[in-house]
A and B are shown apart, each in its own frame.
Chain A
């Protein structure tokens, strides 16, 4: 049907637009006035290095942080405001985003803390007081990291799907697809693995649970979408619940894993996915056996009643 095809492509366009803005929309947690004031202060601070002392800006290659003339192009702006700003004005969201991204490289050393954020702010030429924009337990940093990982995963899955559509790659069987997707996502934790348990406990704080749950569910939904799930009945929930369980348990195993290259974790993952496949096969077998039994009983009842009437 043309209508269905048109709607389907509309759905794809909607979805693709989503993938970029899909990042979690969690609200900035400090008053706008405070951060605006801070930004003015850091603006003044920034102007000075351009004139005088900050050789480090120009001598060392600016990998990822450049002198503050224009904000870079594709910032995944959480609220979509970024695209509407004029070129030399950076929104609050974009600024926080850049600080948090810069802070990530200091996490292995300082943990998910205000120190890491302060170091990140310093590399951008901002005052260390910029860390005051964020909570002291590093919640925003962790949520930012998770959101970035999810975006990367979506990109990866989207590219893979494109390759399959173009016929350049084979379509993976379901268990392999799920296994690879979860593994790819968990591998993004490896640089931060030492401090990750701390991050997990912060994500479980009641204040953060709506956001972290949201991020988790949208990631799992993404994986199933690219796996080709088209269920519109209760299976929709069952599948996501099962995959969430697999992801969470594998993540916990990974925290404890000291084997080379985390091979124990990947083996654990493989077994869990295989279990899930077996369970679903068993479930459908049980159902068809049940239906067959019911039919048999109905047949027997009809036979008996016929026998009775014919007697």
Chain B
């Protein structure tokens, strides 16, 4: 039940659309976190991670144009939802923000790994450059995840509940963005 009808390469189409949506959402999450914790001690750290996400988003914007991929229609929704998630988790304190980062980055790393597997199964030669990009980004997200853990994410209030809820939200977001 997708809108894949006019896409020449549905595999690339989906991959780029969901990745673009993901980086866009990640940007908004860090923006929300900065809005609350920007002037705190973790401000510079969050800013640094945010800058890396901005680079990721820029790269996917270029790829979207090159492959003529349709962006997800849910972008305005991810715009608001991402910011609310970031700001909301930051209101739980620095550890809350870190917990959110850990949850999201873990979901994204797993998601990128899945995509890497798919592309390798399809045609590693044809998708060589895309694979390179995704591998690099997966490593970056993994690094963010580790930074979050280093900064006491697990000590956040209701850590496991928070993490489960956020990861469930990520799964839904991925499912929807691939298709619409």
A, B assembled together: yes
**A→B interface (CB under 8 Å):** 3-4, 6-8, 10-12, 14-15, 17-18, 21-22, 210, 214, 217-218, 221, 225, 230, 232-234, 236-237
What B residues does A210 contact at CB under 8 A? Answer: 5
Would A14 and B8 count as touching, CB distance under 8 A?
yes
Across-interface contacts of B66 in A (CB, < 8 A): 4, 7-8, 10-12
Q: Can you give 13 contacting A-B residue pairs, CB < 8 Å?
A: A3-B133, A4-B66, A7-B62, A7-B67, A7-B133, A10-B66, A11-B65, A12-B66, A15-B8, A217-B6, A232-B20, A236-B70, A237-B73
Q: Which residues of A contact B123 (CB under 8 A)?
A: none
**Chain B's nearest CB lies how many Å from the CB of A301?**
17
Interface contact A15-B68, CB-CB below 8 Å? yes
**Also in contact, A18 and B8, with CB within 8 A (given A3-B132, A7-B130, A234-B75):** yes
B36 part of interface (Cβ distance < 8 Å): no
Question: How near does chain A come to B24, taking the closest CB pair, in angstroms?
Answer: 8
**How many contacts A-B (CB < 8 Å)?**
60
Q: Does B59 contact A (CB under 8 A)?
A: yes
Closest CB of chain A to B99's CB: distance in Å?
29
Question: Do A232 and B64 touch (CB < 8 A)?
Answer: yes
Return chain B residues, CB-CB under 8 Å to A232: 20, 60-61, 64-65, 71
B9 contacts partner chain A, Cβ-Cβ < 8 Å: yes
Chain B: residues with Cβ within 8 Å of the partner, total of 25
Over the window 63-87 of chain B, the binary record of Cβ atoms lying under 8 Å from chain A Cβ atoms (1 yes, 0 no) is 1111110110101100000000000
Given A232-B20, A232-B71, A22-B8 contact (CB < 8 Å): yes
With A10-B66, A232-B20: A4-B6 Cβ-Cβ less than 8 Å: no
**Other CB < 8 Å A-B pairs besides A3-B129, A218-B6, A232-B60, 11 of them?**
A4-B66, A7-B62, A7-B63, A7-B66, A7-B67, A8-B62, A11-B63, A12-B66, A15-B68, A22-B8, A232-B65
4 tightest CB-CB pairs across the interface, nearest first?
A11-B66, A18-B8, A8-B66, A218-B6
Closest to A8 in B: B66
A181 CB to nearest chain B CB (Å): 17
Residues of B within 8 A of A234 (CB): 71, 73, 75-76
Bound state CA distance, A15 and B9, in angstroms?
Answer: 10
Known A14-B8, A22-B8; contact A7-B68, beta-carbon cutoff 8 A: no
Closest to B126 in A: A10
Contacts of B8 in A (CB 8 A): 14-15, 17-18, 21-22
Q: Which residue in B5, B67, B132 is a CB contact (below 8 Å) of A11?
A: B67
Which chain B positions have C-beta within 8 A of A230?
65
B96 shortest CB reach to chain A, Å: 27
Inter-chain contact A233/B71, CB cutoff 8 Å:
yes
Q: Which residues of A contact B70 (CB under 8 A)?
A: 236
Instruction: Kindly provide the distance from the CB of A287 to the nearest chain B CB, expressed in whole angstroms.
Output: 14
Task: Determine the residue in chain A with the shortest Cβ distance to B136.
Answer: A3
Contact present for A6 and B129 (CB under 8 Å): yes
A151 to chain B, nearest CB (A): 14
Task: A233 to B20: give the CA distance in the assembly, Å.
Answer: 10
Q: Is the CB of A233 within 8 A of B129?
A: no
| Distance from B25 Cβ to chain A, minimum over Cβ atoms (Å) | 13
